[in-house]
Structure 1
Amino acid sequence: MTTRDVVFPAGRQELYERNRYSPAIRSNGFLFVSGQVGSREDGSPEPDLEKQVHRAFDNLNAILAPAGCTFDDVVDVTVFIVDPEEKFERIWNGVVPEHWGNAPYPTVTAVGVTWLYGFEFEIKVIAKLPEASGN
């Protein structure tokens, strides 16, 4: 079996080890990022919806950066939203454009869910690694 090439954001490795998953794995020229939520440093949810979405993107960027990526390198996005009928417009048209960048945009799948461990929003991405990384 191949050893996984894991990417950890600064200062949060203990949180991922406690929850028993990798924040991101480099493989075959891509970075596969686990779902990121709007968690505070201790792992608890940010209570305000808009702030929670901003924090989810901050947490995502904290994983992309050590791999040499930005959101511009993201090719595929999956978002999970609790109660999307009520919250989708606030999230998608209110907060997401601040983090999304310019066209052409990545592919997107949006999924409505009933539970996210106390969170309202989660974002999972696949990014193309920079060519210079050799992956």
Structure 2
Amino acid sequence: MVQASSKRDAVFPPGRQALYDQHRYSAAIRSGDLLFVSGQVGSREDGSPEPDFETQVTQAFARLSAVLAAAGCTFDDVVDVTTFHTDPPAQFDTVMRVRDRVIGEAPYPNWTAVGVTWLAGFDFEIKVIARIPDRA
């Protein structure tokens, strides 16, 4: 069983903490047996947006996977997904194609998709809540 703490327990994937430090947020916060993952985008190594949309979505899922792994989780542990889209009707098929490769079979996590007008130069962002598996 995971002990509750009054301090935030930050989780960072390898090699990306400087980017999070620069923007002053944590990749994820572990709270009890839950992991709250910040929005992940399809960025290049320097943090700039990947211009190809399908590659951007694929990279966002890869960044998310790295954060999950840093906390001992996988996509099987994800219970809640929120995605942000700058042009949902034009992007939906591509997002679903990438999602199907990554998320896998039912039962699926719940999912909320939100259309937005601004994502700091990105066209897609994904954030999740995962249950941290008990490895004991």
TM-score by length of 2: 0.93
**Paired residue secondary structure (1:131):** coil
Q: Any residues of structure 2 matched to 1:9-20 within 5 Å, and which?
A: 9-20=13-24
- 2:47 is aligned, of 36, 43, 49, to 43
Task: Give yes or no for the alignment of 1:25 onto 2:29.
Answer: yes
Q: Distance in 1 between matches of 2:105 and 2:51?
A: 29
Partner residue, 1:115: 118
Structure 2 residue aligned with 1:67: 71
1:77 aligns with 2:81: yes
1:132 offset after TM fit, Å?
Answer: 2.5
**TM-aligned CA deviation for residue 130 of structure 1:** 1.0
CA distance in 1: counterparts of 2:94 and 2:14, whole angstroms: 30
Structure 1 counterpart of 2:109, one-letter code? P
1:130 aligns with 2:133: yes
Supply the distance in 2 between the matched residues of 1:39 and 1:125 (Cα, whole angstroms): 18
Aligned residues: 132
Letter in 1 for 2:21: E
Normalised by the length of structure 1, the TM-score is: 0.94
**CA RMSD of the aligned region, Å?**
1.2
Gaps in structure 1 of 5+ consecutive residues: none
Give how far 1:86 is off: 1.5
Moved segments of 4+, more than 3 Å: none
Looking at structure 2, the residues matched to 78 and 53 of structure 1 have their Cα atoms a distance apart, in angstroms, of: 14
Render the CA deviation track for 1:58-94: whole Å, top value 9, x for unaligned.
Answer: 10011000111000100000000111121112222x2
One-letter amino acid of the counterpart of residue 77, structure 2 = D
Residue identity opposite 1:95 in structure 2: V
1: CA distance, partners of 2:6 / 2:21: 20
Counterpart check, 1:90 vs 2:94 = yes
Matches of 2:124 and 2:33, distance apart in 1: 27
Q: What is the CA–CA distance in structure 2 between the aligned matches of 1:46 and 1:8, rounded to whole Å?
A: 21
